[in-house]
Amino acid sequence: MNKIILGVSIFFMSMPAISADLAVGKSLSKQCAVCHGKDGISRHPETPNLAGLSALYIEKALVDYKKGSRHDRRMSLIAQSMSKDDMKNLGAWYAAFKLTVEVPQI
């Protein structure tokens, strides 16, 4: 019996928590592009890139802006109207971007 419970627990733990919808994330991201860039790479020095960040990090940042444990005059306002699903879908969308990194040679 314990083995079955353990097996089932491992199965659920290895599944991504409720799967996100990339198409919804893509559609929602149109309102982010003006600051974070259409490709998730920001052209404003004050605004961070979102492309390639982990979904978990993006979701947590958005939750924090909404709760008030992280504050920014723009993001705190934007996050207020976001649902948990919006945050999850946006996180999944930007996390799916593939980046190529070149480490400086010094």
What residue ranges bind ligand HEC (CB under 6 A)? 28, 31-32, 34-36, 46-48, 50, 58, 61-62, 72, 74-75, 78, 90
CB atoms within 10 A of CB 29: 17
Cβ proximity to ligand HEC, 19 vs 74, nearer residue: 74
Measured CA to CA, the distance from residue 10 to residue 13 in angstroms comes to: 5
93 alpha-carbon distance from chain centroid: 7
Measured from the CB of residue 24, what is the shortest distance to ligand HEC in angstroms?
12
Q: Of 80, 98, 79, 88, whose CA–CA distance to 32 is shortest? A: 79
Cβ proximity to ligand HEC, 6 vs 43, nearer residue: 43
In the chain the first and final C-alpha atoms are separated, in Å, by 59
Measured from the CB of residue 45, what is the shortest distance to ligand HEC in angstroms?
10
Cβ proximity to ligand HEC, 7 vs 38, nearer residue: 38
